[in-house]
Structure 1
Amino acid sequence: MVAVAPGSTPVVGDTRLTSDLILHVNGHEHELSVDNRATLLDVLREDLGLPGTKKGCDHGQCGACTVLLNGRRVNSCLILAAGVRDAEVTTVEGLSVGDGFHPVQEAFVAHDALQCGYCTPGQVCSVVGMLDEVERGWPSILTADVTEESVKLDEAEIRERMSGNLCRCGAYVNIVAAVEEVAGR
């Protein structure tokens, strides 16, 4: 059923179930016609062939689908693709520097901060976004003094800020160590 404005009549063959849009993903423009109900996660994986972003719970609870939207971390399973016009989306595939890894990816490898690896792309994107939040001085619920311009990124602060990303394998100790290394650079 197509939603129709009050007082108007639906037209046979109405195409308002799709939207033509340009998505900016990892520095590239993609012209697409997407179903208005399609999530950003599904468009990234199915239409753009970017399998790094994972579908975990599909309810915004696990963080496996975390990407950066204009630099802010978001659960791509909760965002409609048609709603991200004029925004810059960065997936784990877009974090690498040339042929090398992003420093967060390097730290994850160095600290063995992954086991099965399913949550890793979302964890990595979340760390990148979280480090930007810290650099901007954004407090968390654990920040002792919100009037300070800088945030002390200790283990408790890292765990709180990463609490939206779950790891079924339990690699949290190594994830925290990887974040501490990158934050100390």
Structure 2
Amino acid sequence: MTSLRLFTSLTAVAAFGAATLIAMPAEAAPVVDAAKSDVSFAIKQMGVPVEGRFKKFDAQLAFDPKKPETGKVAFTIDLGSATMGSPETDVELPKATWFNTPKFPQATFQSSAIKGLGGGKYEVAGKLSIKGATKDVIVPVTLSATGATATATGTFAIKRLDFKIGDGDWSDTSMVANDVTVKFKLQISGLGAL
């Protein structure tokens, strides 16, 4: 009789524990609010700085600011959403010479390591793929928080010809510089305390 009572009590405790675990919400992954975020690029054309931006992008984050080395970042940019603010230029960007969006609709970044530098600063190493070419990049990121919302900002440089952006006649770097500066400001919810 005692064994039966003990078994029943243990079963009840196990059932309660399982029900509690099922009822507990899983820790939500951080979410980037694309509508309140910005990804832009800057380049010099005949020595004059020009800027553009991407209107559509998505990010998947698994990141704890207290354990950055365990984090992962995956970022996707819709290259067809690129705009430089001029209809004449914007109609050229999807063409084969530039982004070739019919063949390569997206650029992607996949992190391989995240290093905390202190003071809300991080280095995110990973692979950037654009137009069929993949290169290793290191992206410096600064995180700041206001209430439950965090902001990630950063700037890094790439060489456009490494990714065959501006092929053919446009590979002349006296016309369009090879150096491209990429900037981002991402609003993130659910990141946790910094």
Q: Which has the higher helix share?
A: 1
Larger RCO: 1 or 2 (CA < 8 Å, sep 6+): 2
TM-score (norm 2): 0.24
Q: Which has the higher strand share?
A: 2
Query: Is the radius of gyration larger for structure 1 or structure 2?
Result: 2
